[in-house]
Amino acid sequence: MTDNTIDSGPQVGLIMGSDSDWPTMEAAAEALAEFGIRFEVGVVSAHRTPQRMLDYAREAAGRGIRVIIAGAGGAAHLPGMVASATPLPVIGVPVPLKYLDGMDSLLSIVQMPAGVPVATVSIGGARNAGLLAVRILGASDPALQERMSAFQASLEAMVLEKDKALRTTLLG
Ligand SMILES: Nc1c(C(=O)O)ncn1[C@@H]1O[C@H](COP(=O)(O)O)[C@@H](O)[C@H]1O
């Protein structure tokens, strides 16, 4: 029997350690929306709400979530801790803060011990996190994969257009 609740529920969980991360994380939401991906957004902190973080990670797969994007700044333990408590793929976004320019977040997220992977994008790379989530979902959804291919073709067309414009400006 089909579980309509799961089929129509969010496919991606977009979480962040604080609402102050939203200006960075918003780009992930935009990318998901561009591809028509159903997603949920929430603040979950390993440091400040450890029980909520564990509950979220343990229940996500059962609710129909298929990919988790987790953004955090500073001592960014959220993505790794979530990955430790779910079998779902977790994409970590290092959020740059006032000090250390996000290097602290990047190193906190990327240096996971073997066995507990977090797919880490660049500092502030939330758009790529959203696009990576689309690609993961597209691996089992040919129509979505086709849309990703079309998006990639549009990138190529955009670059060729820029190349043409630059040459025209420089060479007349
Ligand atoms: N890195 C974490 C975690 C965590 O990893 O559990 N929880 C909050 N934070 C981060 O603290 C920064 C400052 O948060 P506030 O702006 O709320 O003080 C944010 O970038 C957040 O992701």
* Residue 95 DSSP SS3: strand
Q: What is the ipTM of this complex?
A: 0.98
* Residue 120 DSSP SS3: strand
- Closest Cα to atom 19 of ligand 1: 73
What is the per-residue pLDDT for 51? 98
Tell how far the Cα of 169 is from the centroid of ligand 1, in angstroms.
45
Verify whether ligand 1 is closer than 6 Å to residue 52 (CB atom): no
Each residue's pLDDT, cut to its tens digit, for the chain (172 residues) gives: 444 445 689 999 999 999 999 999 999 999 999 999 999 999 999 999 999 999 999 999 999 999 999 999 999 999 999 999 999 999 999 999 999 999 999 999 999 999 999 999 999 999 999 999 999 999 999 999 999 999 999 999 999 999 999 999 998 7
